[in-house]
Structure 1
């Protein structure tokens, strides 16, 4: 191959390799200077539900008609084992008076406990007199950082009045007064704090893990650094572009999406780099000219890398069809980062390999046999034996015993997939927090001393059109309701009546969420019995439980659209690349099977290993998009090798060599990708822990079962039909055709 052939000379030629590196440096520096980093444009309180959702409409009605209850509540839980003293209660009253006269940041209102007589306030204590809940309301538009400032100011006022800091006292300390902030405000602050503290530690842990794995697998410090450099440049380019887009209001990014984007970049990005590097190393054992070897590597791997990258980008962009904000916000950051990463793997990585040459693999430098002989002569050592290519035992097994291999993998994957039907889901963000987080500790105390429903009551509002209803009595008769407040009249429309409803169970639980339709039906029936028509537009339910129910419904809607579109998109790309309906069908089928197997294995680990009762409801869709897209990467890389080799050898031999040739690089790539996702399991946030475990499990199943065993076994069994409707001409027949043409 000549240096001028292909695009190799444009990115990795004698001079162009330095130009390529310089271009990446200039782009990274310029963008970093002129545009803000994506981390500086985080918005962690973005609305996940659209204005058309019932809970959002209800919140608007509540804000307009019941301004007294307006605002996001922070519930300050005061606890003193053995009972709160009169002095402590009076200090709490004094605190509410100071807050009323000198509000903290973003405070909207406070229940004026100081206006109540001491004995009346004692009546609001828990049954054993140890606990009091003090509501404090904040601006609904405030973000978590502003809420945090308000709570920090509250803590300072508390210190000034009490002479000590109850927020620093352990919740189970029987000798002193303790205080905790829970409710929506406390949960928001803790969630933001957990995600923000995870960013730096996640980045460091991911980089260290990738470096260690590369060093252990390839034992070359230079090779280990090349993917890190490429990923680093991709991140430095991606971050300001996303920051600019967020600055313009085109997209919204939050801490969670940035955290997962970092993992995705290092995991998938390193994979793309290794696809190129491994092909380069293989060719160097046979080609003495490093330039020719590199250009051959570029030609041989660029198609598979580009196809893999486009597959992942297309799958991630499908998230733009999502209505749920958290899904929708993932689409652009994830797809853009992967797009820039595979561009870097096709340009920057070849340039770096051209700069380092064979030294990229030092100290285990790949050389041809002649080069090894010459090197031995110079050192006065005997000539080494010709390098033997080790035959892949996996490749040999899948072509000699394909039925056995297929049966075993089907049983293993199918058995794991069966456990996916046992998964239980939750939309309770609080349960994903560590147990020692303030909001979770406060919630636990409320549940023990009062009713859990007090943490987040639902507000049921109806438009009575001036008629009398018995809705209060109907609500009180429901077996899942512990308390119904007195009727409240609307500020602008007196016909709108509201009742605060407290559940007798965790208002964030799936069980409470499933009661929302029944609450609505109860209110509609009360209106119908009062002779009011069109009742469906006369009922609104506000509150966290109603919001979570809408999140569940919206998530199910998104899954019903995104999953088929992702499968259809990847199917189309595979058809264009492989030009085989049969191969496309079984590649898609195997990855979908491994997805359900990953859910089953993840559930076994999370439920039986870690003791979790349920997984976060958003995880299956997240995992599907990642696993189906990333799983096809490995299939594409291996199948492309088989497709190329079958042009010059019998199909079974092509399968055997294709599996062997791609085995080591896909295994190392899979370990690195799984390892980067597994890093999420070290974080204190259960939603990321669970996502990391399931995704890592899926990658490992793809790496060690689907790619090396199942896919080549199916290809072997199908034989020439694997290429249908394309025509497969055996090598022997090709030789006869050439002979006939020459006669």
Structure 2
């Protein structure tokens, strides 16, 4: 650590120039993180998920491997005219030339004649950096055409909604980042009572945040990692919060060394030497916890882990090089206009006085803490998960949300956000349409479905099997038909359009049949719908057997949600013990002890239980929400376990440092007096950073996560780290340091104190 400090001081200007130069290069030549995010939870499922199997069955209707979106033309007052239909065809033809469009499938006119929609298939996924440009290009086609007055065109569905959600998230992210920076700066000014120190402390995490986004995005584009909409939000608050913590640890220790009479350069080197190890192991716990997520089966976790690990690794490097270089450049001016009192021993502050009480009454302190935290943890049993399916529409006010509203207004309910039932047969169903009729009737009678839309009622227009067979004989496969009926045809326009719409229900080869359904359990994004998925899949499997289908599947947000829930729960129970073990090992290294890590890890687990219980009370008991986002317990645990140990390491390292010179009780008092302000300041700043996301986050997911972690950090800072942990240290005595040499040294001190007492 001392070497890092000396290099940063000696080559201070070069170090700053290298960091700034590398950041400029990465921002210039690498994509932005927001351009590669993916908000589709199904894209992160394990390859053996039933939902992905259903997606393969759905391939004849919308090819897998690429995203889809919907073009909707509609009128609110009258039916679409011939000019409207011509305009729709013209727009579709112009769209076909847009890059990455693989296919355009006309899905027909609504039964009320006021809307017409088509499916666009792409050869890129929702996380492609080209997605936004493509969607903007298509929407520009709408405005460039001379459209009939009153005809509205909207782009909705998977890719368009993802782009709009990402844009809304980016807007909210900019607001969150601005407010976070402002909150951190104000709190740093209050802590330092100076002008330059707060700015430089914040400058390092801001630079790392600017740098880490393009670096992570570059890795995403190579396919090495995945990035969800959660990644960017968590990245911002984690880097700003943790980076400010590291800056506080370093800068306040430099201030302490300056008061001892060291020169600014000597103070920087001494500060890096004394707290560099604490910062390194603090970052190491976060990096280690994040890398454990590589073991997850759910791609959101597996992509989030390395992304955040990279960011914290860069933050650690900046804390040991870039920030010390800045501190060395500005020296004593850092703390202007406050006056440095060199050589003056300050009286014990509030935390020193509290430490005395804790040391005198450790049992009472510990028992009261455990009872309070245990009581709050009971609320965890009221937890119910939600938010599995992701967003099925664009944000309010955006084009994709308007498109979804247009489909809902003119098409059957099952078309808007369907749970799709897929049946595959060994032979084309055109030879025996009774199988299709039997399947549709059986699905309608099944209690798990509220409504069914299929080949016999496309877009709300009823067609008998006899009519369907006759139309097939006259016109051939519906997937090959032109937008208008042949001039010689006697078929009405309504019947012709209804038959063309069957292309979305019967595959071109006639072997796969799709049915759009709504669920009796409610909205497919709800928890009741998710819980109904096993029954839905069983019912579909039974019907498939009855009609002779060789394969079947259920596709949609409820099915995806259930598979996401299964993967997430499996990861939770598998990875949490690994994270606890890894952090315990890191703590054992920095503490040189096998005893201290046990209660340090348990203290954070207790803090997690209490903070999660409070989150349940806030959002479910008092907030009236049906559940908390499914990522909340997992990510709250990982982040609180990793971030909570930051303060554990700082406090315990200082206790260990003081215990080399004094008795344990004196060491606890001196350490809390020295670090109390640092820990509470850092904790308040970290909590404020997460709280900003809890208030201004773009989604319920981000708001709940920000609020939950902010609560956990506050509990950790003011109760666990400064009250419960010191009380345990006082009770355990010299065994805190077993089997290191300090254990034996403290034993000698205890004997001497015992003799003196006698």
Q: Alignment partner of 1:581: what SS?
A: coil
Give distance in 2, aligned partners of 1:164 and 1:496.
Answer: 38
Decide which of 381, 387, 394 is 1:421's aligned counterpart. Answer: 381
Decide which of 241, 247, 270 is 1:273's aligned counterpart. Answer: 247
Give distance in 2, aligned partners of 1:444 and 1:408.
Answer: 54
Cα 1:185/1:38, change in 2 over 3 Å: closer
* Counterpart position of 2:542: 525
Give distance in 2, aligned partners of 1:150 and 1:291.
Answer: 56
- 1:475-511 alpha-carbon deviations (Å, 9 max, x no partner): 222223112524865544x554443333343122222
- 1:654-682 alpha-carbon deviations (Å, 9 max, x no partner): 11222221110111111111111222231
Q: Does 2:647 match 1:664?
A: no
| TM-score (ref. length: structure 2) | 0.80
Cα 1:10/1:257, change in 2 over 3 Å: same
Q: Does 2:368 match 1:408?
A: yes
Decide which of 470, 476, 480 is 2:444's aligned counterpart. Answer: 476
Q: Measure how far apart 1:243 and its partner are.
A: 4.5
Q: Does 2:582 match 1:569?
A: yes
Give distance in 2, aligned partners of 1:356 and 1:575.
Answer: 37
Q: Does 2:680 match 1:712?
A: no
Cα 1:369/1:585, change in 2 over 3 Å: closer
* Counterpart position of 2:283: 309
Q: Measure how far apart 1:719 and its partner are.
A: 2.1
* Counterpart position of 1:501: 517
* Counterpart position of 1:698: 712
* Counterpart position of 1:174: none
Decide which of 11, 16, 19 is 2:11's aligned counterpart. Answer: 16
The answer (yes or no) to whether the contact 1:306–1:342 under 8 Å persists in 2 is yes
Q: Does 2:58 match 1:62?
A: yes
The answer (yes or no) to whether the contact 2:394–2:401 under 8 Å persists in 1 is yes
* Counterpart position of 1:597: 610
Give distance in 2, aligned partners of 1:60 and 1:684.
Answer: 32
* Counterpart position of 1:399: 359
Q: Measure how far apart 1:640 and its partner are.
A: 0.9
The answer (yes or no) to whether the contact 2:389–2:557 under 8 Å persists in 1 is no
Decide which of 453, 458, 461 is 2:419's aligned counterpart. Answer: 458
Cα 1:54/1:274, change in 2 over 3 Å: same
Where in structure 2 are the equivalents of 1:548-563 lying within 5 Å?
A: 548-563=561-576
The answer (yes or no) to whether the contact 1:66–1:490 under 8 Å persists in 2 is no
* Counterpart position of 2:297: 323
Give distance in 1, aligned partners of 2:403 and 2:506.
Answer: 32
Give distance in 2, aligned partners of 1:566 and 1:407.
Answer: 27
The answer (yes or no) to whether the contact 2:632–2:705 under 8 Å persists in 1 is yes
Q: Does 2:163 match 1:148?
A: no
* Counterpart position of 1:374: none
Segments of 5+ residues of structure 1 without an aligned counterpart are 114-120, 126-131, 168-179, 371-385, 739-743
Cα 1:501/1:232, change in 2 over 3 Å: closer
Q: Measure how far apart 1:236 and its partner are.
A: 4.8
For the aligned residues, what is the CA RMSD? 3.6
Cα 1:658/1:160, change in 2 over 3 Å: same
Where in structure 2 are the equivalents of 1:217-296 lying within 5 Å?
A: 217-253=191-227, 256-296=230-270
Q: Measure how far apart 1:463 and its partner are.
A: 4.0
- 1:228-278 alpha-carbon deviations (Å, 9 max, x no partner): 232244345434533443454433445542332122211101101111111
* Counterpart position of 1:135: 117
Cα 1:291/1:186, change in 2 over 3 Å: closer
Cα 1:716/1:530, change in 2 over 3 Å: same
- 1:194-251 alpha-carbon deviations (Å, 9 max, x no partner): 1232343333233222212211222211111111232244345434533443454433
Segments of 5+ residues of structure 2 without an aligned counterpart are 457-504, 754-758
Where in structure 2 are the equivalents of 1:172-183 lying within 5 Å?
A: 183=157
Q: Alignment partner of 1:7: what SS?
A: helix
Q: Alignment partner of 1:299: what SS?
A: helix
The answer (yes or no) to whether the contact 1:399–1:652 under 8 Å persists in 2 is yes
Q: Does 2:322 match 1:348?
A: yes
Decide which of 324, 341, 347 is 1:388's aligned counterpart. Answer: 347
Give distance in 2, aligned partners of 1:241 and 1:686.
Answer: 27
Cα 1:187/1:414, change in 2 over 3 Å: farther
The answer (yes or no) to whether the contact 1:183–1:456 under 8 Å persists in 2 is no
Q: Alignment partner of 1:645: what SS?
A: helix
Cα 1:108/1:529, change in 2 over 3 Å: closer
Q: Alignment partner of 1:161: what SS?
A: coil
* Counterpart position of 1:108: 104
The answer (yes or no) to whether the contact 1:100–1:112 under 8 Å persists in 2 is no
Give distance in 1, aligned partners of 2:578 and 2:374.
Answer: 24
Give distance in 1, aligned partners of 2:63 and 2:282.
Answer: 54
Q: Measure how far apart 1:472 and its partner are.
A: 3.4
The answer (yes or no) to whether the contact 2:6–2:269 under 8 Å persists in 1 is no
Give distance in 2, aligned partners of 1:629 and 1:409.
Answer: 21
* Counterpart position of 2:342: 368
Give distance in 1, aligned partners of 2:750 and 2:629.
Answer: 59
Where in structure 2 are the equivalents of 1:621-636 lying within 5 Å?
A: 621-636=634-649
Give distance in 2, aligned partners of 1:449 and 1:413.
Answer: 53
Q: Measure how far apart 1:341 and its partner are.
A: 0.9
Give distance in 2, aligned partners of 1:91 and 1:408.
Answer: 77
Give distance in 1, aligned partners of 2:411 and 2:383.
Answer: 31
Cα 1:222/1:619, change in 2 over 3 Å: same
* Counterpart position of 1:48: 44
The answer (yes or no) to whether the contact 1:506–1:512 under 8 Å persists in 2 is yes
- 1:329-385 alpha-carbon deviations (Å, 9 max, x no partner): 222221111111112112222222222222221111323247xxxxxxxxxxxxxxx
Q: Measure how far apart 1:95 and its partner are.
A: 4.8
The answer (yes or no) to whether the contact 1:424–1:613 under 8 Å persists in 2 is yes
* Counterpart position of 1:85: 78
Cα 1:448/1:216, change in 2 over 3 Å: farther
**Which segment drifts farther, 88-97 or 405-414?**
88-97
Give distance in 2, aligned partners of 1:441 and 1:531.
Answer: 41
* Counterpart position of 1:7: 3
Q: Alignment partner of 1:648: what SS?
A: coil
- 1:439-487 alpha-carbon deviations (Å, 9 max, x no partner): 5577678779986543222332334446986543432222231125248
The answer (yes or no) to whether the contact 1:321–1:328 under 8 Å persists in 2 is yes
* Counterpart position of 2:665: 652
Q: Does 2:748 match 1:733?
A: yes
The answer (yes or no) to whether the contact 2:188–2:198 under 8 Å persists in 1 is yes
* Counterpart position of 2:620: 607
Q: Measure how far apart 1:65 and its partner are.
A: 6.9
The answer (yes or no) to whether the contact 1:485–1:500 under 8 Å persists in 2 is yes
Q: Alignment partner of 2:625: what SS?
A: coil
- 1:700-724 alpha-carbon deviations (Å, 9 max, x no partner): 1111111111111122222233334
- 1:58-90 alpha-carbon deviations (Å, 9 max, x no partner): 22222237879x97353749685xxx335x677
Count residues with an aligned counterpart: 681
* Counterpart position of 2:700: 686
The answer (yes or no) to whether the contact 1:454–1:503 under 8 Å persists in 2 is no
The answer (yes or no) to whether the contact 1:483–1:503 under 8 Å persists in 2 is no
Give distance in 1, aligned partners of 2:384 and 2:366.
Answer: 30
**Which segment drifts farther, 191-200 or 720-729?**
720-729
Cα 1:20/1:10, change in 2 over 3 Å: farther
**Which segment drifts farther, 596-605 or 183-192?**
183-192
Q: Does 2:30 match 1:36?
A: yes
